[in-house]
Amino acid sequence: MTSLPSSTDKALGLVIDLDTCVGCHACVVSCKEWNTGGYGAPLGDLDPYGAEPVGAFLNRIHTFEVSPDDAPASIVHFPKSCLHCADAPCVTVCPTGASYKRSEDGIVLVDEDMCIGCGLCAWACPYGAREMDPVENVMKKCTLCVDRIYNENIPEIDREPACVRTCPAGARHFGDFSDPESDVSRLVAERGGMDLMPEMGTAPVNKYLPPRPKTRPNAAAPAASQGEPAPDGFLGWLDRALERLG
């Protein structure tokens, strides 16, 4: 049923820390690896070693440059995957009922056996979270590793999304946003977690933590502007002696 649940028992999702992400793409690789062997059809590739390789990914890292008015530009690596929106437009447009949002944990999933591959859900998503599999011709999207997080056949430490488990920088966090005391909820509260494109009215569950303010050299000790301090001792004598030589 492609109507959205009026509320979900849990709101599982990710916090992505843009301050910590180093842009290594390890989460992209581990996502692709896990989801090629896990839930649903494998994540297909066409022409992988040829001139124009193309493939489905559930997680991609963009890299942006952000330029403050009064400071040098900085680089922000920007991982992007499904935000498991509370008001997910991709779900309601689906003509077959293949797209749905689970009422128990809020995960947005695609039943690939029902998907006709019309692509309308990908058009409805402002974030580019859905990609058509080039081999299976069904819509693929982040499952929040639904086949890991509840999987009692793997060690408990691994029961989180592959991207979170693999991130070497600790830039990705997984948890329940409906619990205000959860780690993810506290991170969002402490660090000012934000929604992407709030104007689209999608109410995303995933939150992004903005980069912490950079230290600004000119705001710290005004060393540079006053020139080098005059040396004393032997170096001071040498400096003065060499000056006298002209």
Binding site for another protein (CB under 8 A): 1-3, 18, 28, 52-57, 60-69, 71, 73-76, 78, 80, 89, 92-98, 114-120, 122-128, 131-132, 134, 136-139, 194-201, 208, 210-211
Beta-carbon count within 10 A of 159 CB: 15
- Identify the three-state secondary structure at position 77: strand
Burial (CB count within 10 angstroms: exposed 0-12, middle 13-18, buried 19+), residue 213? exposed
Q: How far apart are CB 178 and another protein at their closest, in Å?
A: 22
Contact yes or no for 148/158 (Cβ under 8 A): yes
Strands 207-209 and 12-17: parallel
Beta-carbon count within 10 A of 156 CB: 8
Would you say 58 or 149 has its CB closer to another protein? 58
Q: How far apart are CB 141 and another protein at their closest, in Å?
A: 12
Q: How far apart are CB 244 and another protein at their closest, in Å?
A: 50
Would you say 132 or 144 has its CB closer to another protein? 132
Would you say 149 or 171 has its CB closer to another protein? 171
Q: How far apart are CB 29 and another protein at their closest, in Å?
A: 12
CA distance 99 to 85: 13
Would you say 39 or 127 has its CB closer to another protein? 127
Would you say 197 or 235 has its CB closer to another protein? 197
Q: How far apart are CB 142 and another protein at their closest, in Å?
A: 14
Phi, psi of 144 (to 5 degrees): 55, 30
- Identify the three-state secondary structure at position 129: coil
